[in-house]
Amino acid sequence: MRKTKNAVTTTFVLLAVMLCGAAAKAGQESLPGIYHLLFLAPKTMLGPAISAITLMTSNLTATINKYGTGYYLVRPATEAEPTVAEVLAGTPFAMRANVAATVIVTGLNSFTNYKLYFVAKSTSSNVQEAVQSVAFTTASGTFTPSLNDTGITWGGSYPSDNNAGCTGEEIGAQDCSHGRDFTNNNDSDGHAGFSFTKLDADGVPLINQAADYATTPWACVQDNVTGLIWEVKTADGGLHDQNDGYSWYNTDTAINGGVDGYENPGDTCAGYVAGQPSTYCNTQAYTARVNAAGWCGENDWRMPTRTELQGIVSYDRVAPTIDTAYFPNTPSSVVWSGSPSPEAYGSDGARSVDFLYGYSGNYNRESGYQVRLVRSGQ
């Protein structure tokens, strides 16, 4: 009798598995049960599809039939197709069963033929066997930079206090109701309306844009709104150390406001050697050293204007007033711009931005403040 029961049980289990397998082959991936949940890889129900293509970004949309994670990798169309493992090392994003997921793809160049490769993995770690791809071409033309917004997404309620959301007295006239942090409020690539791409030491976008700086440090950040590429500071005591101080110095009479500034403030930065002007801790010598090193693969780094520098201030926070998820190692301190002070403030000053509260100011060029270099990028 015991053998008969076991035989019946075994036959039932085998039959159930066979039926589930047959249903799965027939495309009935919504079939409930352990087999479906545990043993089948996700099926892509829609996509991957590319839309909203611009000079530097696009949108990826895909739908799978299970809860899990989508992974994508973008390569020029002329490069070889990646393996499943290579795509799984790409950029991840969460996916829900039968719900379209859309992510912004950044770090692209204009008028370039690309292929985006996609693989999905279920919450039970079943991975699609084949890489799916879609070809697209970014827009052509000259990149027209926009201005960044303030990062403020909350409203003020007169006569006091701020609100958690964009509500309050005369809210239509308040900052949170206007600009990119209202129309493009997406934290996937920067707070609110900001949009950044992390670049490695060669100036190449990180495969995993969600990487943590402590485990996968990046060297530069591309601002996808303005087109500017920014230096990322370090905490290693080297050339880009966050705590190094520099006097303002520029010998170009066309842009220095008529005064060179202060050449030698002493030993306030890495590599300083007394009597060797190329090692001096001033803004001009520092810029030359970074360009000689070919930082992020480029040698056209420069001091930012005051307007450019203030463009990366996020006014929704203090100490420092910047998105540290993209700009780590940022002290809450004054940073020099390359702009001389207006004539009314005197010829011995230069403009700066204080990243403690985000306001701009004018200081004597002898002062030893921080520097964050920029290049025009696109």
Contact at 8 Å (CB) between 370 and 220? no
**Is 225 in the same domain as 264?**
yes
C-beta separation of 360 from 335 below 8 A: no
> Within this chain, do residues 30 and 54 fall inside the same structural domain, yes or no?
no
Q: What is the pLDDT of residue 94?
A: 93
Do 27 and 89 lie in one domain? The reply is: no
- Average confidence (pLDDT) over 300-315: 97
Comparison of pLDDT for 37 and 231, the residue scoring more: 231
Place of tokens 């030993």: 267
C-alpha–C-alpha distance, residues 339 and 73, integer Å = 40
Give me the percent of the chain exceeding a pLDDT of 70. Answer: 88
Residues 115 and 231 in one domain: no
Per-residue confidence at 36, pLDDT binned at 50, 70, 90?
A: low
Q: How confident is the model at residue 204 (pLDDT cuts 50, 70, 90)?
A: confident
Beta strands in the chain (DSSP E): 44-51, 58-64, 68-76, 91-95, 101-105, 113-122, 132-137, 196-199, 220-223, 229-231, 334-340, 349-354, 360-364, 370-371, 374-375
Cα 146 to chain centroid distance, Å, stands at: 17
Q: Give the whole-angstrom CA distance, residue 347 versus residue 143.
A: 35
Q: Are residues 231 and 119 in the same domain?
A: no
149 three-state secondary structure: coil
Stretch 284-307: mean pLDDT: 97
**Domain count within the chain:** 3
Q: Where are the alpha helices (DSSP H) in the chain?
A: 2-25, 34-39, 84-88, 180-183, 283-293, 306-310
Beta partners for 59? 51, 104
- The predicted model scores a pTM of 0.69
Instruction: State which residues form the domain around 210.
Output: 190-378
The Cα 242–Cα 330 span in angstroms is 6
* Same structural domain, 310 and 235: yes
